[in-house]
């Protein structure tokens, strides 16, 4: 396998030629999927581009035997779990579909804020104060396969930013209470939207004794949120939104639900990356829309909608460095290695974790 520097020193057209040649040889055996936060040049060549929910569904339905996934680690785990069900492996005569990344180090800092060990320790601590059988555990899709398996073993579910309300309301119809991990912003916004009173929602701060929660408040809580967050969506500022409102009174302001509560409270609406794209697409020429999400996507919206004024509610561009790792040279290198029979950065979830995680992932399909 050639060094990355070989691909990094090649011209963009040489890389595109190489990628084109490999795709032509592979035909339908190979699919390239990219999240909206991937770099422009990668988004431009992907077979499928979407939010977490859409990409999980595409992976589940894909007939490709190899998927180069330009996203972050949890997305590859999800694709691997959904593409490699026992039935689908049997239909491929025992062969697993291969899910691989342009860069093995592309992770999600929020997903890493909890894992199965910490979830088990959380449950152990909660058991001393509450009846945990009354709680359905829900994990945001931005979580490890182990965290998803923890939820699957307890008849819990996975949600994304696009279906959180449905998943949470179904869960509250089954059992009276909810554990939500690891995104406390999305968890809180969803619970509030579904009518859970604020004094029945508590934030479990994992570094503090009993999550920093008063035992009586814990006993009363209907929703206990693991206090994780996305560092990229932390950067939006209430002050900038107020300035936008003052200088552009007709502006509508939308943000991704991973944004902090004070930001969501100031917005006209919030939604998944697909929803934010829809808001911009449906705006009329001349409309002013402020969009609080990862910078590369907002910058792309700006370039694709020159007739609309797209504003950014942060002091400076907030970039997901992990999503930015799927560069063209790394895409070319990963594909070249795969073609030569030495695939790199392969993500394969062990069967005992995948089976339980898959139960929780049913909620996405």
Contact residues: ligand 13P, CB under 6 A: 36, 51-53, 142, 160-161, 230, 256, 258, 272-273
Span 257-276, contacts to ligand SF4 by CB under 6 A: 258
Determine the Cα–Cα distance for residues 274 and 279; give it in Å rounded to an integer: 9
- Look up tokens 């040489």; give the residue: 14
Span 275-294, contacts to ligand SF4 by CB under 6 A: 294
Determine the Cα–Cα distance for residues 330 and 317; give it in Å rounded to an integer: 24
- Let me know: does 339 contact 18? Beta carbons within 8 Å: no
Q: Which is nearer to ligand 13P, 164 or 171 (CB)?
A: 164
Q: Which range in 5-13, 55-63, 80-88, 317-325 contacts ligand SF4 by CB under 6 A?
A: 317-325
Does residue number 320 form part of the binding site for ligand SF4 (CB under 6 A)? yes
Give every strand in the sheet of 288-292, ordered side by side: 269-270, 252-255, 288-292, 309-311
What minimum distance in Å lies between the beta carbon of 187 and ligand SF4? 13
Contact partner, 322, from ligand SF4, ligand 13P, none, Cβ < 5-8 Å per class: ligand SF4
Helices (H), the chain: 4-8, 12-26, 40-45, 52-61, 73-83, 86-91, 116-127, 145-152, 164-174, 184-193, 215-220, 238-247, 261-266, 273-282, 295-304, 328-339, 351-361
What minimum distance in Å lies between the beta carbon of 136 and ligand SF4? 22
Does residue number 43 form part of the binding site for ligand SF4 (CB under 6 A)? no
Q: Copy the structure tokens of residue 184.
A: 């406390």
Q: Which range in 102-110, 263-271, 296-304, 335-343 contacts ligand SF4 by CB under 6 A?
A: 102-110
Q: Which is nearer to ligand SF4, 116 or 294 (CB)?
A: 294
Span 208-237, contacts to ligand SF4 by CB under 6 A: 230-232
Provide the sign of the torsion angle of the four alpha carbons 183, 184, 185, 188, taken in this order. Answer: positive
Q: Which range in 9-17, 60-68, 302-310, 316-324 contacts ligand SF4 by CB under 6 A?
A: 316-324
What minimum distance in Å lies between the beta carbon of 144 and ligand 13P? 14
Helices (H), 234-294: 238-247, 261-266, 273-282
What minimum distance in Å lies between the beta carbon of 214 and ligand SF4? 30
Q: Which range in 43-51, 103-111, 198-206, 269-277 contacts ligand SF4 by CB under 6 A?
A: 103-111
Determine the Cα–Cα distance for residues 128 and 352; give it in Å rounded to an integer: 29
The only residue of 54, 56, 110, 114 in contact with ligand SF4, by rule CB under 6 A: 110
Burial class (CB in 10 A: 0-12, 13-18, 19+), 321: exposed
The only residue of 31, 81, 83, 108 in contact with ligand SF4, by rule CB under 6 A: 108
Phi then psi dihedrals of residue 220, to 5 deg: -80, -20
Give the list of residues 6+ apart from residue 111 with CB closer than 8 angstroms, or none.
72, 73, 74, 142, 143, 144, 147, 182
Q: Copy the structure tokens of residue 43.
A: 């988004």
- Report how many residues bind ligand SF4 under the rule CB under 6 A: 13
Does residue number 112 form part of the binding site for ligand SF4 (CB under 6 A)? no
Span 115-174, contacts to ligand SF4 by CB under 6 A: 142
Q: Copy the structure tokens of residue 343.
A: 């695939």
Q: Which is nearer to ligand SF4, 110 or 179 (CB)?
A: 110
- Let me know: does 137 contact 167? Beta carbons within 8 Å: no
The only residue of 72, 181, 186, 276 in contact with ligand SF4, by rule CB under 6 A: 72
In the complex, which residues of this chain contact ligand SF4 (CB under 6 A)?
Answer: 72, 108-110, 142, 230-232, 258, 294, 320, 322-323
């Amino acid at each position: 396998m050639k060094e990355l520097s070989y691909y990094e020193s090649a011209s963009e057209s040489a890389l595109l030629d190489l990628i084109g040649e490999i795709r032509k040889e592979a035909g339908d055996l190979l699919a390239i999927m990219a999240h909206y936060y991937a770099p422009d040049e990668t988004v431009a060549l992907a077979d499928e581009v979407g939010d977490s929910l859409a990409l999980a569904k595409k992976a589940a339905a894909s007939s490709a035997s190899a998927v180069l996934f330009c996203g972050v680690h949890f997305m590859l785990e999800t694709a691997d779990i959904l593409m490699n069900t026992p039935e689908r492996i049997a239909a491929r005569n025992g062969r697993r579909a291969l899910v691989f990344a342009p860069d093995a180090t592309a992770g999600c800092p929020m997903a890493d804020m909890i894992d199965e060990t910490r979830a088990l320790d959380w449950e152990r601590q909660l058991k001393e104060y509450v009846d945990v059988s009354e709680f359905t555990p829900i994990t945001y899709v931005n979580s490890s396969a182990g965290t998803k398996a923890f939820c699957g073993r307890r008849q819990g579910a996975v949600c994304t930013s696009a279906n959180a309300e449905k998943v949470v309301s179904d869960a509250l119809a089954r059992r009276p209470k909810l554990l939500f991990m690891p995104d406390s912003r999305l968890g809180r916004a969803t619970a509030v939207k579904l009518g859970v009173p604020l004094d029945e929602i508590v934030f479990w701060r994992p570094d503090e004794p009993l999550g920093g929660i008063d035992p009586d408040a814990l006993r009363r809580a209907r929703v206990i949120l693991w206090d994780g967050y996305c560092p990229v969506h932390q950067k939006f500022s209430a002050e900038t939104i107020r300035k936008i409102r003052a200088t552009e009174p007709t502006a509508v302001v939308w943000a991704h639900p991973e944004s902090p509560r004070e930001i969501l409270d100031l917005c006209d609406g919030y939604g998944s990356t697909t929803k934010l794209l829809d808001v911009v697409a449906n705006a009329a020429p001349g409309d002013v829309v402020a969009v609080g999400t990862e910078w590369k996507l907002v910058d792309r919206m700006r370039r694709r909608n020159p007739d609309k004024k797209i504003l950014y509610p942060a002091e400076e561009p907030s970039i997901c460095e992990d999503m930015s790792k799927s560069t063209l040279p790394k895409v070319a290198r990963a594909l070249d290695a795969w073609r030569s029979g030495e695939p790199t950065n392969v993500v394969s979830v062990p069967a005992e974790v995948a089976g339980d995680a898959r139960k929780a992932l049913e909620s996405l399909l």
